[in-house]
Structure 1
Amino acid sequence: MYIDDIIHVATEAGKIILENGGETYRVEQTITMICNSYGIPHTESFVTPTGIMVSITNSENKTISLVRRINSRTVNLRKVAMINNLSRQIVLKPLSMEEIRKELKYINNIPPYSINTTTFFAAVSSGFFTLVFGGNYKDFFVAFIIGALINYLGVHLDDLEVNGFLKNMLGGALAATVALLAAALGLVGNMNTIIIGSIMILVPGISITNAIRDTIAGDLVSGVSRSIEALFVAIAIAAGTSIIFKIWVLLFGGSLI
């Protein structure tokens, strides 16, 4: 079994975790576990949200390094859990390289939920967040519609490879626009609650949580970079809603604001 085969499958497993919302320490732990299971005593890895660097040395003092760039990130904790299970299975009973590659390919190619499914649950989440923040049943239905529109917009912007900052800004702008129009038509009475509940689906909860966990674990580079990423998402959402409010004030003189 060649050392380059081991480092490639270990790094690929870590890449899948990082691309799907896993923590930095989990990626490093998985890489080390896989390498150790195949007799690699010395494994060093340095992981950031945008890259993985691994260096391993075998018993013959042969060293090989590998760098993987992370170009896209999403949240799919199912894939993270499946890689965790695979790494623990390898520790108990090492698999052949062909078997590992087959499992990694299967996990990596698991299709995401359909647009209809994600849109529905985004809408439900927005509606219930609005209720949590004090909205009524009318506010719930408007937030439900906004949540569906935001998710639908996000999916199509992803297809166009629009960057995350602009996508979140447009999502915030969409939430403010629909809420203002609903209030102007007299359909709802608590516009602010609707906007707050709707944009909650844009808030980077995973990034914030992982930033805190990485910082506590001592992964300062990843912790700081994730924190900055979460900050820019918040700025984008605020910018989107603020622009719509400003336009509304210019057009209608601040009515309903």
Structure 2
Amino acid sequence: MNRSHKILHIAAEAGTIILQSGGETYRVEETMLRICYAFNIKKADSFVTPTGIMISITDQNNQTISLVRRINSRTVNLEKVCMVNDLSRSIIPKKLTLDCVESKLKEINSTSGHKSKVLIVAASFAAGFFTLVFGGSVQDFLVSLVIGAIIKILSTALNNIRINEFFINSLGGAVAALIALISVKFNLGHSEDKIIIGSIMLLVPGLAITNAIRDTIAGDLISGISRAIEAFFIAIAVAIGSGLVIKLWVIAFGGIFK
């Protein structure tokens, strides 16, 4: 692999890590172009969508090469986004070599992030405190702690076997509604609505909505619309899951909310 090809692949790898970790479209393009120009590429162009990266470079010999990379999975790991962003900005000041950048990218990509137990505890407390924010009682808070942990365990397990996100969010909404209704039925909780609302906040596509707005404002209309549609379908999935459980409960027991 000659130098130009290596630069192209390194830039694409950096962009892939950012996009898979929840980074904005403009940040992916900016980072890839910064890496290319840091290694004296004559001209570079990139086009990024939430599911794909296209980058083309022209070297000093006027040879143009391109690369297309498909993005199949996306998660949220802003630490990786920050690390790749910092790396791209430090190439010129620190005079990093291609091999050094490639090695650091592999190291960043292999970073596992927080342990599952930490994420489960964080999700549990997030659901609990959201319930309090929406006016829930201490009983509702305790029920939401359990629901938050269960939702995180289920979503992690299903993501590991690559189950469709729509199904995962539907199941999460259904679990939140079912446990909330059962807890109030047996006087373990006080308000079904507060528990459900607080718990499903874990599933709300906040990052997707934020990136959709940011990309649209930046002029990346395709990415902005794609992320907005993604957020819309996540919301629909959560509504279907929780709504179906509530409807079945009403049919079976005649009513809910006090």
Please, what TM-score do these two structures have when normalized by structure 2? 0.97
Work out whether 1:39 is the aligned partner of 2:40. Answer: yes
Amino acid at match of 1:211: A
Closer, same or farther: CA 255–190 of 1 in aligned 2, 3 Å: closer
Matches within 5 A, 1:116-155: 116-155=117-156
Superposed CA deviations along residues 10-44 of structure 1, whole A, max 9, x for unmatched, are 11001000000100000000011010011112111
Q: How far apart in 1 are the matches of 2:243 and 2:134?
A: 20
Q: How far apart in 2 are the matches of 1:187 and 1:93?
A: 59
Amino acid at match of 1:45: S
Partner of 1:209: 210
Partner of 1:183: 184
Amino acid at match of 2:255: G
Amino acid at match of 2:198: G
Amino acid at match of 2:35: I
Tell me which moved more, 214-223 or 90-99: 90-99
Superposed CA deviations along residues 105-138 of structure 1, whole A, max 9, x for unmatched, are 0000001322211000000000000011011111
Partner of 1:168: 169
Q: How far apart in 2 are the matches of 1:94 and 1:46?
A: 27
Answer whether contact 1:55 1:63 (CA < 8 A) is retained: yes
Superposed CA deviations along residues 226-251 of structure 1, whole A, max 9, x for unmatched, are 00000000000000001101111221
Answer whether contact 1:22 1:77 (CA < 8 A) is retained: yes
Q: How far apart in 2 are the matches of 1:65 and 1:214?
A: 24
Partner of 1:231: 232
Superposed CA deviations along residues 28-67 of structure 1, whole A, max 9, x for unmatched, are 0001101001111211100000000001111221100001
Q: How far apart in 2 are the matches of 1:231 and 1:255?
A: 27
Amino acid at match of 1:52: I
Q: How far apart in 2 are the matches of 1:256 and 1:185?
A: 14
Closer, same or farther: CA 255–10 of 1 in aligned 2, 3 Å: closer
Answer whether contact 1:46 1:54 (CA < 8 A) is retained: yes
Matches within 5 A, 1:1-257: 2-256=3-257
Superposed CA deviations along residues 190-248 of structure 1, whole A, max 9, x for unmatched, are 11011000000111111100000000000000000000000000000000001101111
Once the two structures are TM-superposed, the CA of residue 256 in structure 1 deviates from its matched residue by 4.4
Q: How far apart in 2 are the matches of 1:88 and 1:256?
A: 54
Answer whether contact 1:16 1:108 (CA < 8 A) is retained: yes
Superposed CA deviations along residues 139-169 of structure 1, whole A, max 9, x for unmatched, are 1100111000000010111122111000000
Q: How far apart in 1 are the matches of 2:26 and 2:257?
A: 48
Q: How far apart in 2 are the matches of 1:226 and 1:191?
A: 31
Once the two structures are TM-superposed, the CA of residue 255 in structure 1 deviates from its matched residue by 4.2
Amino acid at match of 2:240: A
Aligned length: 257
Q: How far apart in 2 are the matches of 1:232 and 1:118?
A: 24
Q: Secondary structure at the match of 1:201?
A: coil
Answer whether contact 1:33 1:91 (CA < 8 A) is retained: no
Q: Secondary structure at the match of 1:202?
A: coil
Q: How far apart in 1 are the matches of 2:99 and 2:150?
A: 43
Q: How far apart in 2 are the matches of 1:212 and 1:255?
A: 37
Q: How far apart in 2 are the matches of 1:91 and 1:168?
A: 43
Tell me which moved more, 243-252 or 74-83: 243-252
Q: How far apart in 1 are the matches of 2:95 and 2:71?
A: 27
Amino acid at match of 2:196: I
Q: How far apart in 1 are the matches of 2:176 and 2:93?
A: 50
Q: How far apart in 1 are the matches of 2:104 and 2:194?
A: 45
Q: How far apart in 2 are the matches of 1:154 and 1:38?
A: 41
Answer whether contact 2:212 2:224 (CA < 8 A) is retained: yes
Q: Report the aligned-residue RMSD.
A: 1.1
